[in-house]
Amino acid sequence: PSSLAPDCSLDGRYGFMETHAYYEQCARRQRNYGLFTADQLPLSKNNKNRAKNTRQNPNGNRYGLECPEERDYYPYWAQAPWKDIAVLTTDVSRCDYYKKESQNVKGRSYCEDDDPTNGVVGATEEGCDGTWHSEAQGKWDLPAPDCLQAPWNRDNHLGNGLDGYPNHYNWSIPDTP
């Protein structure tokens, strides 16, 4: 659907991973100005300064309830609902960084502002008009993700490897309550 009601995630016809509240936080949150945007994100008065606007989604188009900035940049700098299992990268020299910055082991600071009349929700403590939560509150207390050399991948073919079949990662699901 092009327009989702706040309770649409309760509708069993749609498979949503993120909640409507998570998307609304993303749509209102100020984008991270330190992220690479190439020439795709002109700053303007047309809400281009939100986390829903990225170099791959400069118009802020909505696809389900995902947050485009969180989808396009890892590790994400703000709180996200995801628990990291593995990072497959072409540059294993960055593995220590990925493991250290995972939300499994490092919390995320965020601004809680439930008043939609405030407009853009600040990405920093100084820009927060609501309650600022320090990064000590946002980690999952899980082991850091595995980090491995990514296998060769055919461009734009959903991860097909050298044998023509999708690349994969074997994960043993932990026995946790």
Distances (CA, A) of 50 to 32, 70, 168: 8, 12, 33
Query: Each residue of 145-161: pLDDT tens digit?
Result: 999 999 998 777 777 88
pLDDT in tens, 53-109: 887 887 888 878 889 889 888 899 888 889 999 999 999 999 999 999 999 999 988
Please give the structure tokens belonging to residue 92. Answer: 């294993």
Coil, helix or strand for 50? Answer: strand
Band of the pLDDT at 50, cuts 50, 70, 90? confident
